[in-house]
Structure 1
């Protein structure tokens, strides 16, 4: 690991990656490789947890193509020197900011969207002029192998490399001196990464998770709200960091909400046989999810297939914040439904817990929307929709508090892997003497006028 990191450091110090044409060429090469090997990528992820080509393209590959195209189009602008105002004390002179790459970057990907969550940060890192080492999750082993094959066989390892492995390999990597670490995963592992980075003062971006609420008010368009919410919750069998973790429904519409939700699940036909659903990633996670289901509170679903690692879409009702299912992020196809009649109380309940990665508000009343958005702190979210905010790269995507540090997507990703160097440039034909010795009352008077 040390030799690999050192080789990338030497390559970075050659200044090759600082050339905009080089960055664009590498991004074009990556897009070409992905397009030529889409079938390989589809087959690998299907072997891991039965994710169909349709969902793999729409939720992973297409987002990567978008990121690459946007970076190629805008990297020259993002990298350009930017003039800023010069304050009175530094006149005559000019001030500007130069974006520069941080250096050798480590990207630790997550298993639930293995391509998108490993390669999207890599695209941002390349656009910013860094060298890249990706450590994919070892849980979806076939996607890990596919990425290693495509990248390691086509790119100079001193610039871009995939290192496979588990905890031991990740630990070894975290012992190295990187210039940037980007981690996507759980809060407990995020803390380990953060501690390792702190020992070497390495800047980090942490994309974590949390219990993201969806609030269904009495005055929303209930039918379309349920349709969008059910899609967002059971996409990828609930194994989505920004999926609605639980729903808080106004008591006036709770029963209708439950009926519509059950009907929507039936109409959606979440079946692996129809390429419309996925497996739980492994036996350990399936057992964890089973333990969260209180059989006395099942409204619909609750069945599972141990041999095939499948859990059907499940709704639990009559849930309170004290239930076991409400203690940690679910990360699976279980939707707890809580009831409320006082919006202020439910806002306080949410605020009393760690800040969520996402929050979704379903309402037609502007005052209610404004109240929730103003009072609850969360990474990002949507009004009258769920999950889809991640598709807009003009907004930074990231968490706050325990749900994450930093953001990426679009220019925000470029910034995550860049340092913005501030420069003051002064002419030599004039030099005011106010700051120089000897200090006098007259000079101090002028300094007060200039600085305030």
Structure 2
């Protein structure tokens, strides 16, 4: 990075996993403080994992969580018939009506309300995600999305008046939002509930039939989603397909009316290439880099706490808005490192591996390479 060569800048790097999350979060500090709240923070996208910060600040020191879950194999040869069934269901017009959309959104609301404990337990088994973090960052966010969709749905479905030119006088015009058809949602593992349900809510609210392909890297949540969708939603128009690369590849070979993918840029290119063959529009929510710029005039303790909250308290760094590296002046960097050390102990104890308040790095492939 070119900043390393500048005499007045020090770049501190710690671990983060390429993922995709688009929500901000709030977190409470372990202790109240009356100190002034000044710090320069920047939260763009996260990106490839990288590490050169001291080991005591590294969440990679925490062992990966062991996951369990029974996969339900999907026959890749059934992909064409699956898409055909959903498109036939869409052509009947059932998904277009306001009543159907509301019934499905209320089904998701009921699902989250009645099965909140099961969802929280699945997230713990997949990521050791603490119950409070699971609620705030995933379950509550899904509830909020459902409430918003139900509140705004009538307005979203109303035609929008459009101006016409003098040459079209005395005609009138309006813009009518039409459902696209059959939509494919491919979600990621770091927020396996939120990032699966949120795009599905959008697809249903728009009147589409939808297939969700959850991440196989979060198998317990994936299996639970398959069970919940079958129980609470209209299976003629809303489906879950479990599986890994072969199943995803089979789905991508089909002609969809839209694809929504959350994950890495590498796989995003594969998705876009597959979609281009059919001129299918795509939404790609990919990773990037996420710096924090720290000025030497900031309140050191408040800044350190905010960085810790934005890094380790947010799924242990496995989030696209998580802090990826720190830019600070060379003379200020040692003070900041000491403040981070003290803050991490305050948040998670002397041994974070024993803490109940921090998620675990998912698996060995997501650990930092080259740690000393």
The question of whether the paired residues in 2 share the 8 Å contact of 1:272 and 1:278 is answered with: no
Matched, 1:181 2:262: no
> Residues 6-405 of structure 1: matches in 2 within 5 Å?
6-234=84-312, 235-269=314-348, 271=352, 273-286=354-367, 289=368, 291-293=369-371, 295=372
Matched residue of 2:319: which SS? coil
Matched residue of 1:173: which SS? helix
> Where in structure 1 are there 5+ consecutive unaligned residues?
296-452
Say if 1:129 and 1:218 are closer, same or farther in 2 by CA, change over 3 A.
same
Bigger fraction of residues in strand? 1
Deviation readout 1:192-246 (Å, 9 max, x if unpaired): 0010001111000000001222211234344323211211111211111221211
The question of whether the paired residues in 2 share the 8 Å contact of 1:75 and 1:127 is answered with: yes
- Partners of 1:3 and 1:47 lie apart in 2 by 33
Which residue is equivalent to 1:340?
A: none
The question of whether the paired residues in 2 share the 8 Å contact of 1:134 and 1:161 is answered with: yes
- Partners of 1:237 and 1:279 lie apart in 2 by 6
Deviation readout 1:138-175 (Å, 9 max, x if unpaired): 01110110101110233232211110000000000001
Say if 1:292 and 1:91 are closer, same or farther in 2 by CA, change over 3 A.
farther
- Partners of 1:261 and 1:273 lie apart in 2 by 18
Q: CA deviation at 1:252?
A: 4.8
- Partners of 2:164 and 2:99 lie apart in 1 by 31
- Partners of 2:355 and 2:337 lie apart in 1 by 25
- Partners of 1:191 and 1:292 lie apart in 2 by 27
Matched residue of 2:360: which SS? coil
The question of whether the paired residues in 2 share the 8 Å contact of 1:209 and 1:242 is answered with: no
Query: TM-score scaled to structure 1, two decimals?
Result: 0.62
Q: CA deviation at 1:188?
A: 0.5
The question of whether the paired residues in 2 share the 8 Å contact of 1:50 and 1:272 is answered with: no
- Partners of 1:87 and 1:253 lie apart in 2 by 62
> Where in structure 2 are there 5+ consecutive unaligned residues?
1-78
- Partners of 1:35 and 1:220 lie apart in 2 by 42
- Partners of 2:195 and 2:327 lie apart in 1 by 29
Matched residue of 2:156: which SS? helix
Matched residue of 1:210: which SS? coil
Say if 1:292 and 1:96 are closer, same or farther in 2 by CA, change over 3 A.
farther
The question of whether the paired residues in 1 share the 8 Å contact of 2:104 and 2:234 is answered with: no
The question of whether the paired residues in 2 share the 8 Å contact of 1:48 and 1:143 is answered with: yes
Matched residue of 2:359: which SS? coil
The question of whether the paired residues in 2 share the 8 Å contact of 1:216 and 1:249 is answered with: yes
Matched residue of 1:153: which SS? helix
- Partners of 2:299 and 2:175 lie apart in 1 by 47
Q: CA deviation at 1:272?
A: 5.8
Q: Which has the larger radius of gyration?
A: 1
